[in-house]
Structure 1
Amino acid sequence: MTVAVLGSGPVGQTAALLLARRGVPVVLVDEHARREHVGSKAICHQRDTLDVWAWLGAGCLTEEGLTWTTARTFHRDRELFAHRLPDAGSALPPFVNLSQARVEEVLDELIARQPLIDVRRGHRVTGLSQPGCVVVECATADGPRRIEADYAIACTGARGDVVRRAVGEHLAGVSFADLFLICDIRADLPGWAAERRFFFDPPWNPGRQVLIHPCPGSRFRIDWQVPDGYDLAAEEGGGALDRRIRAIIGDRPYEVGWRSVYRFHTRLVRRMRVGRVLLAGDCAHLFAPFGARGLNSGVADAENAAWKLASVLRGEAGEGLLDSYHAERHAAAVENAEVTSATMDFLVPQDDKQRRHRADVLARAARDPAAHAEVDSGRLAEPFWYTGSPLTTPDPARPFAGRPPRGALPPPAPGILLPDVTVAGGRLRDLARQGFLLLTTPGAPAAGVRSVEIPVGGALGARPGEAWLVRPDAYVAAVLRDPAAAGRALRRATGG
């Protein structure tokens, strides 16, 4: 009973830790002989990602991260509006900013203390086959190595072509022509520490955008949209990079910690489950980063995959449960692609119609608050709601009204992530992650799983005589009123 996790970035690390926490032995494979902590990379971590990491023992990431609460949006030389992030009644902040390097360091420390995780560094995957199990061929400094496992989660990132080809998949989609220059700087910028700032067409980057995120230790991440063919080395050598930075921060000391140039993509695989291999994170989908939907969606992939693999390997569910991994997480990837593609069309209009629309929205937003919601600098990461999942039993009394307004959450219902609330037994999400959980009101039906009593009303809006069946990833699977329906809902939630 072993799962091979291929790739040891944050998604692979999270997957390995979640499996081990559920008692599944893991072989964690990574091509690099040692960790290279270079650059901030993914920095913006959403509340539900922090929740997963806290359950794994990495609550320090929330404490170390810089919590930002205000998103400011500018057009040219004036501020259009400031949006304060809602707290959603959780003890966790909506977002924290912390470098990916620090996240990896903390998760590596947890992995080192987990006896069920066998880390194989310096193992570059060269082939993969599925002759009744998963066979992973690797190249190492000491020659070829072969790893066998019952299943594999591929977290090999955007460059994971070897694994994708082996399972007959590729990342199909589009790449955007414009480039983005990213710099990590350290500077004293009073008043900017708790704010994300987005600039449309500022005088110091005319015709394009700039995004500024605060990070711990007086560090700031600045993203400039730059034209195709941009030459970073030439700009550094001629002093233009210094002028670019000073146009934002003024005449004050600063240090550049890291800089790089990226092209953004929207690309998806067709299948996220192929036999015994589950594709996760950037190995399965690529999104433009505006809205922070890359790493955060990858962690959601990892949690979805981990509880399902653990259930199958422990004999609690059949192989059919794994089909729901693709059904749920590919639908999430499609939604993320739609959201980020709409953002990129607003940031980088593709035709005259889009350019006119953007100009009209920005002009109206300067004088009409009703237009603020049309300004698209990236809808921030949020959970995907599994209301259409084959595992979810719909409740006609709680219909899903579709994607809620930006920053809002849908009312609790089947397919919705459980609110982050505490009952007498502890945090509901922590209790759920120990296995299927039934939340009961007086007179509610039983379902043959652990149960915790909850009050009528409350954060769930529970009604007398109801029981709420919750999955091990803290999503509501069903709301039950009839004892005869309890067994059916549980079978459905386990892929039966």
Structure 2
Amino acid sequence: MTEETPVLVLGAGPVGQTAALLLARWGVPVVLLEARTERERAGSRAICQQRDVLDVWEDVGAGAVAEEGVTWDTARTFYRDTELFRVRLRDPGASPFPPFVNLSQARTEEILDARVAAEPRIEVRRGHEATAIAQDADGVVVRCRTARGPVVVRGGYAVVCLGARAGWARAALGVAFEGHSFADRFLICDIRADLAGWERERRFYFDPEWNPGRQVLIHPCPGSVYRIDWQVPPDFDLAAEEACGGLDRRIRRIVGDRRYEVVWRSVYRFHTRVASRMRVGRVLLAGDTAHLVAPFGARGLNSGVHDAENAAWKLAFAVRGWAGGDLLESYEVERRAAAVENAEVTGRTMRFLVPQDEAGRRWRADVLRRAVSDPAARALVDSGRLFEPFWYADSPLTTPDPLRPVRGRPGRGAAPPPGPGVLVPDAVVEVPGVGRTRLRRLARGGLTVLAAAREEAAAALAVARTVCGAPVAGFGLAEIDRDGVLRAALGVRPGEVWLLRPDAHVAAVLPAGDAAAVGAAVSAVVGRSPARDGQVSLASPREETGDGVLPASG
């Protein structure tokens, strides 16, 4: 394998597109395999794009998602006609992006497609339906079904982003996909209507009179379109509902006598499932292939994009020879932990929305009644905790700081204080020779050393370069953060060195003069454990059985 051996990305949805673009940004050639010859244009589908995901897309030239999406910064929750609480989403730093924008998945894919088409390192092969995958010590082989017959594609590594219906790939890799499916269904309609005052907020209604005993969620979208999700019984029949005028009555209970147009409608059943492994040798699973969660909280696509970013920099380091033997396995450790947390958060939401027994239904009804006047009861109401980046406090790449422990999940709409494992707050910085840019953009060039004084940063940078062959940059905050916004956001103390990973998560906060500690932290970030020889490990229990090997003929 050489640096010119491509990484295979299976699936050209938003997660696969993002993975391909980020790999190409690292200079890694990519072959992007997609079964469909044309895009699905209809429906809002995954619409809620969070601030830190917009940040990733901006960095690969897809800033139009943030520009075109409808911005919202308030989540309101109602019980019948009474507002229980509202959450305003705040930024711990000075990000240029709003907390969330809503844009249809189809339009997001179009924007990312344009960026993919403009990237010479990405070769897109449409009409290539992946049907088998295998790997050995030299790389990965994928067999595809095409209009011309079977085709075999080879690469150094593979990222599987085939969505929920990738059972064949999980089976070939020996990966289970256990979890829970919810019996209640959800009717989703995109309607075009004039709903003045609703353009910048997400509204969630428990037990409204127009959907008694169940829930309704309303999101604004571009072009005066609103996405409405109704919880409906397990035996709900959309065709019968339309034929008898029931759908019109449902919509009228919300929009009144205003004119409206149904742009798209569908019915879904939601699932909570997590892959038993997200890394098998040279193959990484990402997005819905690796985890399924209910959409309340917008944790599906947003988490998938962070899978893609985590995978891309680690694969790039492996391809370039910068990775130690533990780096790729840290994808499994970090992103599966994120998937498990998302499943726990959304599973808790779904159990509140859809109680599984009579005792649960009575408890929920009591909580909602008390929440009208009791703040303590309001804290128990779960209308979906909105997506936030996972913090890697327990990752093998993270060096803990006893002065900055991660103390668990903060309150609604809040972020944890900056520290090891946490995504660094963003801010504008002024870099000599570069000009005005953003901290996270700097960080995505490799490893980044920050210190209060330039001399402290230079000393730590020198140590890092002796340990690591990857790109490393160092900056004195007094020099690049002249207005002090970044220092205030980080809470930097005198005599500290901050080490950032290429995905802008804080890897360590260390004493500036401790060269040994700096060296150890840098080694950890690139996956170099003292017990390992620095070679990328390809072993997995499933591989050793020979399962998942392609047949010799065909």
Normalising by the residue count of structure 1, what TM-score does the alignment of the two structures yield? 0.98
The question of whether the paired residues in 2 share the 8 Å contact of 1:3 and 1:151 is answered with yes
Q: What SS is found at the alignment partner of 2:43?
A: coil
C-alpha displacement at 1:20, in angstroms?
0.2
- Aligned-partner Cα distance in 2 for 1:186–1:37: 17
Secondary structure at the residue paired with 2:490? coil
2:121 equivalent to 1:116 = yes
Offset at residue 170 of structure 1 (A) = 3.0
Deviates more, 1:47-56 or 1:450-459: 450-459
Aligned to 1:92: 97
Shift of 1:353: 3.1
Match for residue 377 of structure 1 among 383, 391, 409: 383
1:451 aligns with 2:474: yes
1:494 aligns with 2:505: no
Within the candidate set 29, 41, 55, 2:59 is matched to 55
**1:267-346 correspondence to structure 2 within 5 Å:** 267-346=273-352
Q: Distance in 1 between matches of 2:89 and 2:335?
A: 26
Secondary structure class of the residue paired with 2:407: coil
Name 1:475's counterpart in structure 2: 505
Amino acid at match of 1:451: G
8 Å CA contact 2:88, 2:413 repeated in 1: no
Aligned to 2:544: none
2-side partners of 1:235 and 1:266: how far apart?
A: 27
Aligned-partner residue type, residue 117 of structure 1: I
Contact conserved, 2:92 with 2:489, CA < 8 A, in 1? Answer: no
Per-residue deviation, 1:131: 2.7
Q: Determine helix, strand or coil for the equivalent of 2:492.
A: coil
Cα offset, 1:275, TM superposition: 0.9
- Check whether the contact 1:267–1:287 (CA below 8 A) recurs between aligned residues: yes
Task: Choose from 417, 438, 441 the match for 2:452.
Answer: 441
Please report how far the alpha carbon of residue 406 of structure 1 lies from its aligned counterpart in structure 2 after TM superposition.
Answer: 1.5
Partners of 2:12 and 2:32 within 8 A in 1: yes
Distance 2:72 2:197 in 1: 12
- The aligned counterpart of 1:36 is 40
Instruction: For residues 356-410 of structure 1, give each alpha carbon's deviation from its aligned partner in whole angstroms, at most 9, with x where no partner exists.
Output: 3212221121012343222100000001000000000011111111111121111
CA contact (8 A) 2:395 2:421 kept: yes
Per the TM alignment, residue 465 of structure 1 is displaced from its structure 2 partner at its CA by 1.6
* Contact residue 184 and residue 259 of structure 1 kept, 8 A: yes
Alpha-carbon distance in structure 1 between the residues aligned to 2:174 and 2:272? 19
Matches within 5 A, 1:78-477: 78-89=82-93, 90-132=95-137, 133-425=139-431, 426-442=437-453, 444=456, 445-446=459-460, 447-448=464-465, 449-455=472-478, 457-477=487-507
Q: CA deviation at 1:54?
A: 0.5
Displacement of 1:60: 1.4
One-letter identity of the residue aligned with 1:489: A
CA distance in 2, matches of 1:362, 1:460: 38
* Aligned-partner Cα distance in 2 for 1:268–1:424: 42
Structure 1: 5+ residue stretches without partners: none
Deviation at 1:80, TM superposition (A): 2.2
Q: Contact conserved, 2:87 with 2:412, CA < 8 A, in 1? A: no
Q: Tell whether the 8 Å contact from 1:125 to 1:162 is kept in structure 2 after alignment.
A: no
- Runs (4+) of structure 1 exceeding 3 A deviation are none
User: In structure 2, the residue corresponding to 1:417 is in which secondary structure?
Assistant: coil
Matched AA of 2:329: D
Q: Is the 8 A contact 2:210 2:250 kept in 1?
A: yes
More displaced 10-residue stretch of structure 1: 63-72 or 361-370: 361-370
CA contact (8 A) 2:10 2:159 kept: yes
Structure 1 counterpart of 2:408, which letter?
Answer: G
Q: Distance in 1 between matches of 2:61 and 2:239?
A: 42
State the 1:71 CA deviation.
Answer: 1.5
How many residue pairs match? The answer is 496
Identity over the aligned pairs, expressed in percent? 66
Q: CA-to-partner distance for each residue in 1:307-338, whole Å, 9 max, x for gaps?
A: 00000100111342100000000000010000
- What is the alpha-carbon distance in structure 2 between the residues aligned to residue 65 and residue 345 of structure 1? 31
Unaligned 5+ runs, structure 2: 432-436, 466-471, 479-483, 529-554
Contact 1:393 1:477 in 2 (8 A): yes
What is the TM-score normalised by the length of structure 2?
0.88
Following the alignment from structure 1 to structure 2, what is the Cα–Cα distance between the partners of residues 168 and 408? Answer: 38
RCO comparison, higher one (Cα < 8 Å, 6+):
2
Task: Determine the C-alpha separation between the residues in 1 that align with 2:360 and 2:76.
Answer: 23
